Structure 1
């Protein structure tokens, strides 16, 4: 009789670890003045990037339709995290850019992720956490910034 857990538990535990971290990040972001930011918004703001992008390109980066990306941009614009403007090189194109509030939320979330990692290192031991991270790098693709996760999950309305 095997003492190994069933195979389905591994993805559930990995997802639960992800969910635990993301929930904690967003609870802390809310305490730090960003109560409107949702997990999906972080992917969207990362995909917009520092130079901005169009709704069509944003949809491609996220793996969703231009319309779905545009709907999320509408939400983020309404709560002050992004703004739309003209492309300085092509007035026909509308570019979505992060506002100072959007950039602030990303900077704060990066710090919060670092704080959570430090707490995990304290709880598990730095060597064990480094080994876990190394092991995960060995079995996952090198590109850790897959921004199409929301589209893969079907996370857009």
Structure 2
């Protein structure tokens, strides 16, 4: 049975959504009920150097106001803090806290477990082939941090 290109896109999106939803549910079971996918994107961008709302907005391709709201939630939950900038006392910079890094590591472990489940369903050889083919089609580079903005259609930062 031949599928359309739109069906392929929906299958890939369905796989992504299924993994993310399962990871979010598992993190909740492990005590992190307040973590959402955008929080992980934001913490990774902050850890990579996005140390202000403007920087985070650019990294995620979302409006500065949206980035500021995400930062407020992450601060409230103890995942990020604002620290004085050692180069400019007037400025505060964002830092991921040890709890934030713990959540990211736990999330990575959950995704590894979910990957193992998929591998068990298909068999090791077939799954390795599937992953290899997918990497050939989409490239081996990880998804960029701007995925939240891309999903929302806010690539120009105007939303």
TM-score over 0.5 for the alignment? yes
Moved more, 11-20 or 133-142: 133-142
Q: Which runs of 4+ in 1 moved over 2 A?
A: none
Aligned to 2:108: 110
> How many angstroms does 1:50 deviate by?
6.1
2:30 alignment partner in structure 1: 32
Gaps of 5+ in 2: none
2:150 aligned partner: 152
Tell me the alpha carbon deviations over residues 15-60 of structure 1, each in whole angstroms, 9 at most, x when there is no partner: 1111111111111111111100011111111111166622211111
- TM-score, normalised via structure 1 length: 0.90
User: Is the counterpart of residue 12 in structure 1 residue 15 in structure 2?
Assistant: no
Are 1:80 and 2:78 counterparts? yes
Among 101, 116, 129, the alignment partner of 1:131 is 129
Aligned residues: CA RMSD: 1.9
TM-score of the superposed pair, with normalisation by structure 2: 0.89
Alignment partners' CA distance in 1, 2:150 and 2:8: 19
> Quick one: distance in 2 between partners of 1:142 and 1:18?
16
SS in 2 for 1:8: helix
- Secondary structure (helix, strand or coil) at the match of 1:147 reads coil
| Preserved contact between residue 62 and residue 150 of structure 1 (Cα < 8 Å) | yes
- Identify the match of residue 117 of structure 2 among 116, 119, 122: 119
